[in-house]
Amino acid sequence: MTPLILASSSPYRRELLARLQIPFIWEAPDIDETPAKGEHPEETCLRLSLEKARAIGRLHHQGLIIGSDQVAEREGQAISKPVNHEAAVEQLTWASGRALKFHTGLCVLDAATGRHESLRVTVTAHYRVLSAAQIERYLRNDQPYDCAGSGRIETLGITLVEKVISEDPTALIGLPLIALTTLLAHFGIVLP
């Protein structure tokens, strides 16, 4: 089987890719993840997923490189990872009673040929109306400071939302496995 390399430092993406039960390694790409001036979040996630794959692809002469990036959006503006408690409170306070979009870009790159295919999966998460006490309890328990939009849907963050609309539920966690399975088939890896 063609070697698979996940271009990511994210433990969440590693856990998701492991669900496919195929061997892979991972390496953290060193790229600037700053959105380009005037770039919409939908474009940013696609560009960064390709840049991540290419950064790792430059280190390998063979294999399929998987790059993925997620950008949260509120009213057309990108939302970064909160990094600290105060920023997470601000993000969740704004999201209370509203919907956020999460754009996940996905790229598969053949290191030997440079051929790549990319796509984007968008998830809309409709948040419940959240009190300040609920936000504090959630953040103290889950500490999602490394997650765009300040929530981990795969853990206690599921309690923050009233509905999630998506073609691919794993996209919200950061690696759309349904879409990835389709792209891998285009490169000759048919699962299961």
DSSP β-ladder status, 25-27 and 4-7: parallel
79: nearest Cα among 120, 41, 42? 41
69 is annotated as an active-site residue: yes
Angle at 11 between CA 154 and CA 155, to 5 degrees: 15
Angle at 71 between CA 171 and CA 32, to 5 degrees: 120
Measured between alpha carbons, how far is residue 154 from residues 142, 157, 173, 174, 175 in Å?
A: 11, 7, 7, 11, 13
Catalytic entry in 69, 110, 142, 168 = 69
Q: Which residues of 123-138 are buried (b: 16+ CB within 10 A; e: fewer)?
A: bebebeebeeeebeeb
Token pair listed for 181? 């399975």
Place of tokens 């997650």: 147
Q: Tell me the C-alpha to C-alpha distance, in Å, between residue 54 and each of 73, 95, 114, 161, 176.
A: 25, 34, 8, 35, 19
Q: Which residues are catalytic?
A: 69
